[in-house]
Amino acid sequence: MQVGVLALQGAFAAHSDCLTSIGVQSIEVRNTEQLSSVDALLMPGGESSTMSQLLESSGLFDPIATRIADGMPVFGTCAGMILLASEILDGRSDQRSFSAIDISVRRNAFGRQVDSFEATINSSVGDFHGVFIRAPRIERVGDQVEVLGSINDEPVLVRQGNVLAASFHPELSNDARLHEYFVSITANKKKV
Amino acid sequence: MVSTNGSSSTGTQRVKRGLAEMLKGGVIMDVVNSDQAKIAEDAGACAVMALERVPADIRRDGGVARMSDPEMIMAIQASVHIPVMAKVRIGHFVEAQILQSLGVDFIDESEVLTPADETHHIDKFDFTIPFVCGATNLGEALRRVSEGAALIRSKGEAGTGNMVEAVRHLRSILGDIRKITQADSAELFEWAKRLQAPLSLVQEIAETGKLQVPVFAAGGIATPADAALAMQLGAETVFVGSGIFKSADPAPRAKAIVEATTHFRDADVLARVSRGLGVAMTGIAMDEINETQRFAQRGW
């Protein structure tokens, strides 16, 4: 199994380190050739508007959309979650997303960097130490979406089929359990 | 400064270094007004540095360069979604208090402005928002990390359009890190002494093979090829100061530098984005700058 980490901009290196720590091979994805060699894709945090533009200029947007529609597992954290959401609030008007998971997210809704925080997340996958950096908020969750983790009764970790999304940064807390969970989704899918 | 409320904490090193992680693989652009900030965001900048004059103009004008007017910084904050950084003078912790009160996302304690303290840098642990500091070598980088910096950038020689100094600084910082990973435990004491840096930080580098915080490039970057060179040398992101808005046609150049920073190892992409960008900023050779007018020697 090969997991790709979208490496256009953002915290891709930290995600690769997490995958390495659990013995999973990963490659950085910056073009369509690299995309075609992966079974699953991780979309890191960073700036969603920067990534949107680089998705267009690198010609990756449509091929990724097709792969997601064909069932490729994807895991988006922070900006990656914004890219996967069906609705972006407070984003740039020209910002496109993959609409892969039926949630509405508000960009930077937890505030500026001065408000960035770390806190414990209670989740059905386990309790996590979550790091929130200028984090987006999940303001609406569709019927098909399962809420896996919350903080103060607010959803922060959600899943719809093969699409996993988190508003926080599991790659920043030396804890690869969510990466393991994502890899297990990919492994189960391969068996089918 | 770390504050805890129930199970939630702000201002921790992890949260500060976390934002530096998010900026990786991106371009941080100097802007002097909200129009430029929008051009930068449209081109795909991952953050902007708000300042009244780009380094090339500070160099030309001379005199004392200070923190920018809060009104101008607030106008830029209101005009873009991406993080906004701003500069304070070395050692001027009150300018930093003001920027924190404005909700700036990152503070650059910068040698481009006129230093306010000839001995002390700011105690950066005292603040909730993260700091970036310049360094010319690994010792300087580690002293800044020990004061709480969440991000290190090469000083380069800002406002020159000439990246020779940035290359020197990156090679020095990253080259010494490579050498430390080869050193035995006894040699690490000598390294700490030579670098005038805390031994514990030197030992940590020997174990992990990298600096405690990300290393970005700054100073004299003016073309897509410059950005890719910095990245191939091991920088993780680039700051572009005067290089964009002192060029003939800023918007396409900004976009090209963003693409070059992402695809820094792909020469075909670099060749494509480098075409037809018009005239780059003129630039200054190092021997044209009097020793006393060099920014990089500010800071200790």
Q: Mean of the pLDDT values across residues A16-39?
A: 96
With bands split at pLDDT 50, 70 and 90, how would you rate the model's confidence at B36? very high
Q: Mean of the pLDDT values across residues B27-38?
A: 96
What is the structure's pLDDT at A50? 96
Q: Is-contact B14 A175, C-beta < 8 A?
A: no
pLDDT in tens, A79-103: 999 999 999 998 888 888 999 999 9
What is the structure's pLDDT at B92? 98
Q: What is the CB neighbour count within 10 angstroms for residue A112?
A: 16
Q: Mean of the pLDDT values across residues B281-299?
A: 84
- Chain B hits for A119, Cβ within 8 Å: 6-9
pTM of the full predicted structure?
Answer: 0.96
User: Which one of A33, A56, A146, A171 is the catalytic residue?
Assistant: A171
Interface size between A and B, measured as CB pairs under 8 A: 128
How does the average pLDDT of chain B come out, rounded? 95
Higher pLDDT, B262 or B54: B262
CA atoms within 13 A on the CB side of A133: 35
Interface confidence (ipTM) of the complex: 0.95
Q: How far apart are CA B76 and CA B74, in angstroms?
A: 5
Q: Which amino acid is at B88?
A: V
Q: Residue B62 pLDDT more than 90?
A: no
B3 at A interface, C-beta within 8 A: no
Cβ distance of B44 and A54 shorter than 8 Å: yes
Q: Residue A72 pLDDT more than 90?
A: yes
Q: Is-contact B89 B114, C-beta < 8 A?
A: yes
What is the structure's pLDDT at A190? 64
Cβ distance of B25 and A9 shorter than 8 Å: yes
Q: Residue A191 pLDDT more than 70?
A: no
* DSSP string over chain B: --EEETTEEES-HHHHHHHHHHTTT-EEEEESSHHHHHHHHHHT-SEEEE-SS-HHHHHHH-S---PPPHHHHHHHHHH-SS-EEEEEETT-HHHHHHHHHHT-SEEEEETTSPPS-SS----GGG-SS-EEEEESSHHHHHHHHHTT-SEEEE---TTSS--HHHHHHHHHHHHHHHHHHH--HHHHHHHHHHHT--HHHHHHHHHHSS-SS-EEB-SS--SHHHHHHHHHHT-SSEEESHHHHTSSSHHHHHHHHHHHHHTTT-HHHHHHHHTT--PPP----GGGS-GGG-STT---
Q: Mean of the pLDDT values across residues A104-131?
A: 92
Q: Residue B214 pLDDT more than 60?
A: yes
Q: Residue A192 pLDDT more than 80?
A: no
What is the structure's pLDDT at B1? 86
What is the structure's pLDDT at A189? 78
